[in-house]
């Protein structure tokens, strides 16, 4: 776990913030999980994903704020169940109860879209842009946007946003699908896609989406 779990100041700040926020007991407990952890092995979510849920681009920690809550809950369940293998997240997900997973998923799903620093935008006619917007049909590859939405803003509970996610995160997920360590995609869509991409393709498309602006709000229909 290479990440900065020791951000004590942030954690304390989050705890104070939680105390000052008069919400339902359920929501308060989600706030506590996010800011303090659960005391049974799950550290505070915000130590990596940020108090605002923006993630940390440099470390490759993804944004969670504004993602579909059902998507987030399923990811936690899949970490726990092993169909999304990850050395950091699996023990954390396993340390959370089912209710706690639902609570933090709902919490992050409700957070407003954070402000993130936009990554520099790659060339509009480069390989990343082409894969994102047109695909590569000679390899039967649809455009990423055909499922993840225009600009990669995400569509419903099954096609998460790519826009503004750290390039390192997107690239790592593509490699995990290709390796088979992540295999929780519906209908094996991403496992198939990842096998048709070279390492260079993965880097290019990750950089493209990292530079796309966040939508006002992700969402489905």
Partner 1 sequence: MTLRLPLLLVATLALGACTGDGPLDAHAADTTAPTSASPAFAPPPESAIPQGPYGDMVRLGREIFLHTRANAPGYVGNGLACVNCHLDAGRLADSAPLWGAYGMYPQYRKKNRHVNSYGERLQGCFRYSMNGKAPPLDDKVIVALETYSFWMAQGAPLGRKLQGAGYPDVPAPARPADYARGQAVFQRDCALCHGADGQGQKVAGAYVFPPLWGSDSFNWGAGMHELDKAAAFIKANMPLGRGGLLSDQEAWDVAMFMDAHERPQDPRFNGDLAATRKAFHDTPMSLYGRRVNGHLLGAQPAH
Residues found near partner 1 in the complex (CB under 8 A): 134-135, 137, 140-142, 145-147, 149-150, 153-156, 158, 180-181, 183, 186-189, 191-193, 215, 219-221
CB atoms within 10 A of CB 95: 16
Q: 181 is written with which tokens? A: 């360590």
- Residue ranges of alpha helices (H) inside 96-142 are 98-110, 127-133
Q: How far is the CB of 77 from partner 1 (least distance, A)?
A: 18
* Cβ-based nearer residue to partner 1, 28 or 191: 191
Q: How far is the CB of 21 from partner 1 (least distance, A)?
A: 30
Q: To the nearest 10°, the Cα dihedral for 155, 216, 207, 61?
A: -90
* Cβ-based nearer residue to partner 1, 28 or 146: 146
* Cβ-based nearer residue to partner 1, 114 or 219: 219
Nearest to 176 by CA among 96, 109, 90: 90
* Cβ-based nearer residue to partner 1, 94 or 134: 134
* Cβ-based nearer residue to partner 1, 33 or 113: 113
Alpha carbon distance 47, 8 (integer Å): 8
Q: 23 is written with which tokens? A: 């919400």
Q: How far is the CB of 164 from partner 1 (least distance, A)?
A: 15
Tokens 């954390």, residue?
92
| CB 212 within 8 Å of CB 163 | yes
Q: How far is the CB of 159 from partner 1 (least distance, A)?
A: 8
Total count of residues recorded for the chain: 221
Q: How far is the CB of 31 from partner 1 (least distance, A)?
A: 29
């Amino acid at each position: 776990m290479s990440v900065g779990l020791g951000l004590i100041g942030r954690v304390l700040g989050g705890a104070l913030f939680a105390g000052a926020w008069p919400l339902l007991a359920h929501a308060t407990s989600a706030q506590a999980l996010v800011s303090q952890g659960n005391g049974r092995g799950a550290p505070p979510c915000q130590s990596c994903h940020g108090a605002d849920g923006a993630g940390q681009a440099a470390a490759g920690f993804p944004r969670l704020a504004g993602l579909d809550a059902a998507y987030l809950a399923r990811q936690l369940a899949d970490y726990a169940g092993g169909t999304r293998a990850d050395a950091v997240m699996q023990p954390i997900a396993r340390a959370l109860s089912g209710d706690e997973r639902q609570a933090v998923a709902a919490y992050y799903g409700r957070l407003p879209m954070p402000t993130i620093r936009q990554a520099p935008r790659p060339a509009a006619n480069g390989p990343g842009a082409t894969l994102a917007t047109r695909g590569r049909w000679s390899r039967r590859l649809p455009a990423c946007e055909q499922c993840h939405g225009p600009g990669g803003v995400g569509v419903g509970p099954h096609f998460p946003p790519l826009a503004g996610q750290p390039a390192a995160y997107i690239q790592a997920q593509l490699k995990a699908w290709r390796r088979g360590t992540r295999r929780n995609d519906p209908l094996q869509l991403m496992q198939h896609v990842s096998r048709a991409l070279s390492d260079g393709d993965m880097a290019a498309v990750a950089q493209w989406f990292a530079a796309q602006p966040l939508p006002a709000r992700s969402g489905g229909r």
